[in-house]
Amino acid sequence: LGVVSLSVLIGGIVMYLAHLRSQLIRMTKLRDDDRKGRVAAERSQRHVAQERDISEGFVMKPIGIMTTPFPDRRGTPRQGTVAPASEGILKFDRKIVPPEALDSIEGFSHVWVLFVFHENTNAGRTTFKGKGGPTKAKTSGIKFAAKVTPPRLGKRVGVFSTRSPHRPNPIGLTVCSLVTVNSQARTLRLAGVDLVDCTPILDVKPYIPYDSISCSVPSWVEPPITGTLSSGLEVDFSADALEDLNDIFENPTNSCLRVYAKRKETFLRCAREVIAQDPRSVLLKRASSSQDIFNIVIDGVDIFFVTEATRMHVTRVARHS
pLDDT digits (tens, 9 = 90+) for 210-232: 888 888 888 777 554 444 455 56
Asked if pLDDT for residue 80 goes beyond 60, the answer is: yes
Among 43-47, 87-91, 134-138, 208-212, the least confident range:
134-138
pLDDT at residue 270 in the model: 96
Select from 311, 320, 292 the least CA-distant residue to 238. 311
Q: What is the mean pLDDT of residues 252-258?
A: 75
Q: What is the chain's mean pLDDT, rounded? A: 84
For 283-306, the DSSP string reads HHHHH--TT--EEEEETTEEEEEE
How many beta carbons lie within 10 A of that of residue 163, not counting itself? Answer: 14
Q: What is the mean pLDDT of residues 93-98?
A: 96
The 10s digit of each residue's pLDDT in 126-156 is 444 444 444 433 444 567 889 988 776 778 8
pLDDT at residue 224 in the model: 42
Asked if pLDDT for residue 58 goes beyond 90, the answer is: no
Evaluate whether 281 touches 72 at the Cβ level (below 8 Å): no
Asked if pLDDT for residue 269 goes beyond 90, the answer is: yes
Q: What is the mean pLDDT of residues 249-261?
A: 82
pLDDT at residue 57 in the model: 76
DSSP 3-state assignment of 30? helix
Evaluate whether 312 touches 235 at the Cβ level (below 8 Å): yes
Q: What is the mean pLDDT of residues 311-318?
A: 93
Could you give the percent of the chain with pLDDT greater than 90?
Answer: 45
Higher confidence at residue 12 or residue 237?
Answer: 237
Among 71-80, 123-132, 175-184, the least confident range:
123-132
Higher confidence at residue 142 or residue 259?
Answer: 259
pLDDT at residue 36 in the model: 81
pLDDT at residue 39 in the model: 77
Q: What is the mean pLDDT of residues 292-309?
A: 92
Q: What is the dihedral of CA 175, 172, 116, 134, to 10 degrees?
A: 160
Q: What are phi and psi of 90, to 5 degrees?
A: -90, 115
pLDDT at residue 275 in the model: 93
Torsion-angle region of 206 (φ positive above 0: left; ψ -120 to 50: alpha; else: beta)? beta
Highest mean pLDDT among 36-40, 139-143, 234-238: 234-238
Q: Which residues of 131-151 are buried (b: 16+ CB within 10 A; e: fewer)?
A: eeeeeeeeeeeebbbebbebe
Q: pLDDT grade, residue 35 (50/70/90)? A: confident
Alpha-carbon span 119 to 198, nearest angstrom: 10
Asked if pLDDT for residue 250 goes beyond 60, the answer is: yes
pLDDT at residue 244 in the model: 93
pLDDT at residue 52 in the model: 76
Asked if pLDDT for residue 253 goes beyond 80, the answer is: no
pLDDT at residue 138 in the model: 45
The pTM of the full predicted model, rounded to 2 decimals, is 0.77
